[in-house]
Amino acid sequence: MFLAAVICCCSSSEVEKKKEKSNIKNNPGHYVAVSPHFNLSEIKHIGEPALKGVNKRYFWRTLETSKNEYDLSWIEEDLEFCSKNNKQLVVFLCDRSFWIKGAMPTYLKEYEWKNEGGGFCPIRWHPEFVNRFLAIGRAIGDRFDAHPNFEGIAIQETALDLTEEDVLRYDYSPDKYRDALISTLNGLQNAMPQSHVFWYQNGLHDNSRHLRQIADSLSGGKIVMGGPDILPYRRWLRHTYKIYKEYKNELTLFCSAQDDSYKHHKNDIRITEKRPIHEEGYLTMEDIFLYGRDSMHIKYLFWNNYYDGIENGGRTFDDAIEVIKKYPTFNTSS
């Protein structure tokens, strides 16, 4: 009798998990990634049926104009466009900027610092930062979670440009950052029960093992784990790619083909790289896709809307769309 009750209980639990999972929007496949303020109507090939949707970056400061004052009209307009074109939208919420101006609202400037490269980095492990980031996440979730074309929210990569001086100045530790990321990711998925949260993981300062601890805490949830680049020959990224195989049965996975992916060569060591003379030294766009599909086990792929260098014969999103047409679906099994 007791055994039967246990079996019944377990079966009920499994049913609830399947029911919860079935309520989450699930539109994996190819997406085009665009920068902040980009007009979606200017995306070439938006009518391609194999293109599932758009991944667009939004600076936090443009969505929260002052504390608790949100202007989400940018997202609303883009969702309307996506709906008309039968595409999904991933809202990529940027708290970090690589440009002259920071990404965060003015009232949070004390939780942002200018790094040596000229960009701006957030103090993501500070409790007040976490509280405010979750507040805007809830605002976005309250407004758009039920929208059928809202696929979810993405947060920027975990890697930060921290000097040893910065570590001391801002009281950083890998444990604090790990715990803050777990709180942030769990808080966001609670704020968006019908949508996904895309976590760009790409190393933690001083302790990348914490990435696995974060992933373990998220197994079975709505988090889609991935990274910013498919660059199989970039040596210092290889340790990051190992995590995909480890979690392919636990988490949904994704990655991006960004600018470097469009011209990635086989002796890419980034700092002292020697570019090959012959075109055969570079991976094709199809090679990039197949590595993501077969070695990284991804179900979502974000292709940059890339056209820089076209005058010099560089590859562009026009080349990516040919791969997208050839492989309209991939890794669709649950």
The per-residue pLDDT for range 246-300, each reduced to its tens digit, is 999 999 999 999 999 998 888 876 655 566 666 778 899 999 999 999 999 999 9
Pairing relation of β-strands 223-227 and 252-257?
Answer: parallel
Q: Is 121 exposed, middle or buried (0-12, 13-18, 19+ CB in 10 A)?
A: buried
What's the pLDDT score for residue 265? 87
**Cβ-based neighbours of 184, under 8 Å, separated by 6 or more:** 124, 130, 133, 134, 155
What's the pLDDT score for residue 180? 96
What's the pLDDT score for residue 268? 78
**CATH level 2 (architecture), domain 31-326:** Alpha-Beta Barrel (3.20)
C-alpha to C-alpha distances, 135 to 43, 71, 95, 141, nearest whole angstrom = 31, 13, 13, 10
Domain ranges of the chain: 31-326
What's the pLDDT score for residue 237? 81
Task: Tokens for 289, please give them.
Answer: 């896709």
List of E strands, 212-326: 223-227, 252-257, 300-304
Question: How many Å apart are CA 165 and CA 183, to the nearest integer?
Answer: 26
What's the pLDDT score for residue 6? 39
Is pTM beyond 0.95 here?
no
Residues of the chain short of pLDDT 70, as ranges, are 1-22, 206, 219-220, 269-278, 309, 311-313, 334
**Which three-class secondary structure state does DSSP give residue 45?**
coil
What's the pLDDT score for residue 89? 98
What's the pLDDT score for residue 5? 44
What's the pLDDT score for residue 141? 98
Question: How many Å apart are CA 53 and CA 81, to the nearest integer?
Answer: 11
Rounded to 5°, the CA angle 71-33-192 comes to 50
